[in-house]
Structure 1
Amino acid sequence: MDVSKVEDFEKLRSKIEKDFGGKIDLLVLNAGIGLKGTWEEPSYFHKIMDVNLFGVIHGISTLLPFVTSHSSASSPSSIIITGSKQGITNPPGNPAYNASKAAVKTLTEHLSFDLSKSSPTTTVHLLVPGWTFTGLSGNAPFASGAEKKEKPAGAWSPEQVVEYLEAKMAEGKFYVICPDNDVSEEMDKKRMLWDREDLVKGRPPLTRWREDYKVEAEEWMKKTKI
């Protein structure tokens, strides 16, 4: 199916209703693309938003009742939506992708809040992977032989991400910010905090990447304990 098309979700909804009695225990909205483009290319923004953002919106708007209608304390349901660290720390280089994932974060936060009142046994989780070796990041998962690519040492496998997600879900966590073999949980927290302080302290945006703030940011990262 094409997640950018609401009619494809409507077909899926009919199939779930027919074959599974209209019940979903676990809904994972994970589809995403990572195109590159320029400010002069509206198609670049549309393509990314149609998949990364509206793919989530379409999934929620068509399938949410199937998740919440039968959820109970003895048989809870869950929704997992995949975000990105780029939608939180906002590194320069791909504004459409970052904006799509920032919007996904906001939507998922609101969904969690609303369902805490209307369907409290339906848990919502924002999955934010670190560097993960998937097709989106250079892997060729269905290749074989010489075409098979080896996972970089710094990246996690998808299986590691799932294990981390399951552990955080068991703890009842909404934000699931995954580390990887290059970036620790503490490093992620420092990067997120520095980014928020751009706003609070009235600094220019994206100071972690600006030459006139580079030394200050590096020193702050070294001395700050979280």
Structure 2
Amino acid sequence: MHPALAKGGVAVITGGASGIGLAAARHLARQGMRVCLADLGAERLEAAKAALVAQGAARDAVMTVPTDIGDRAQIVALADRVGADWGAVNLVMNNAGMQPGSSIFDAEGNWERILNVNMLGIIRGSQIFAPRMIASGQPGLIVNTGSKQGITTPPGDPAYNLSKAGVKVFTEALQHALRNMPDCDVEARLFIPGFVYTPLTAAGRNEKPAEAWTADQVVDFLFASVGRGDFYILCPDNEVDRRTDEKRILWSAGDIAENRPPLSRWHPEYGELFKEWLKA
């Protein structure tokens, strides 16, 4: 187990009222950590806290702070509140995100909000919490939730892809900076879920698709990977295995190295070649 996840430690989870965030809170509460849930909606947060308490968490070991991570001042207020009430933070899981859909010319008017929440929210969360975590001298871990769409960037939702590509680049730079700081006991990890059945991905469905993992499955995979020391936590699901993910990523990098058209997997001249290469 990573030393930042020790019993009695403090975890802050954005997007903690449902989905992967709430599943992470359940996991950490079972290990005896104190958990702060940050999300939109006080009622949603209180319902999430009640669920954790019903599953055995101590009421005074669960804090809720309504927070819009698209607003820097609210992230600062979150950090101040946790520090004042519980002291040093050991784990920050920058997990909150949105996926309302987007198009290349922003006909929906979603781009600014998507980038502000999905990318800048994670960047600001890291920038605000990390110096405090370093100064505490305690073991610390920052987990930033990215996406496979931020690596292979499939067509269809460019604003979301861009936001998650930014998370990948930032988290790589963050980990590089942290590991080169003298006397720094704080690390970063890039969390890359597969298809997970959550309110964000349900799309009107009331039952989990067979291809998807549950939020608890992906969280178990996350913390097992953290324990192994993985930086890139690339999660499979019931449809896509590790080998397929690896080959998709390598093909995307090959677009640059071999000077193919961008997104060549979906280009008419390369689509069949990709399928044959994937099988090889």
TM-score by length of 2: 0.72
Which of 63, 74, 79 pairs up with 2:142? 79
User: Which residue does the alignment assign to 2:172?
Assistant: 109
- For structure 2, the residue ranges without an aligned partner over 5 or more in a row are 1-66
Q: Match of 2:239?
A: 182
Distance 1:29 1:212 in 2: 39
- Which runs of structure 2 are paired with 1:30-179 in the superposition (5 Å)? 30-41=95-106, 43-72=109-138, 76-118=139-181, 120-138=184-202, 149-179=206-236
Q: TM-score, normalised by structure 1?
A: 0.89
Match of 1:182, as an amino acid? E
Q: Which region of structure 1 is more displaced relative to structure 2, 58-67 or 206-215?
A: 58-67
SS of alignment partner, residue 152 of structure 2: coil
Q: Which moved more, 1:42-51 or 1:187-196?
A: 42-51
Q: In the comparison of the two structures, how many residue pairs are matched? A: 212
How far apart, CA to CA, are the structure 1 residues paired with 2:77 and 2:189?
25
Conservation of the 8 A alpha-carbon contact between 1:27 and 1:67: no
Distance in structure 2 (CA, Å) of the matches to 1:89 and 1:37: 17
1:82 maps to a residue whose letter is T
Query: Matches of 1:95 and 1:38 in 2, distance apart?
Result: 6
Q: Structure 2 counterpart of 1:210, which letter?
A: H
3-state SS in 1 of match to 2:270: helix
The alignment-based identity, stated in percent, is 38
- Displacement of 1:123 after TM fit? 2.0
Residue 120 (structure 1) shift:
4.3
The CA distance in 2 between the partners of 1:205 and 1:39, in whole Å, is 15
More deviation, 210-219/185-194: 210-219
Q: Distance in 2 between matches of 1:9 and 1:102?
A: 22
Distance 2:105 2:203 in 1: 30
CA distance in 1, matches of 2:137, 2:208: 38
| 4+ residue runs over 6 A deviation | none
Give the strand-richer structure, 1 or 2.
2
Instruction: Describe the superposition over 1:86-126 as per-residue Cα deviations: whole angstroms up to 9, x where unpaired.
Output: 00011000111000000000000000000001154212110
Deviation of 1:37 (Å)? 2.8
Question: RMSD value over aligned CA atoms?
Answer: 1.6
Given the alignment of the two structures, is residue 14 of structure 1 paired with residue 76 of structure 2, yes or no? no
Structure 1 residues not aligned, in runs of 5+: 141-147
Summarize deviations over 1:172-191 as a string: whole Å, max 9, x none: 11000000000000000000
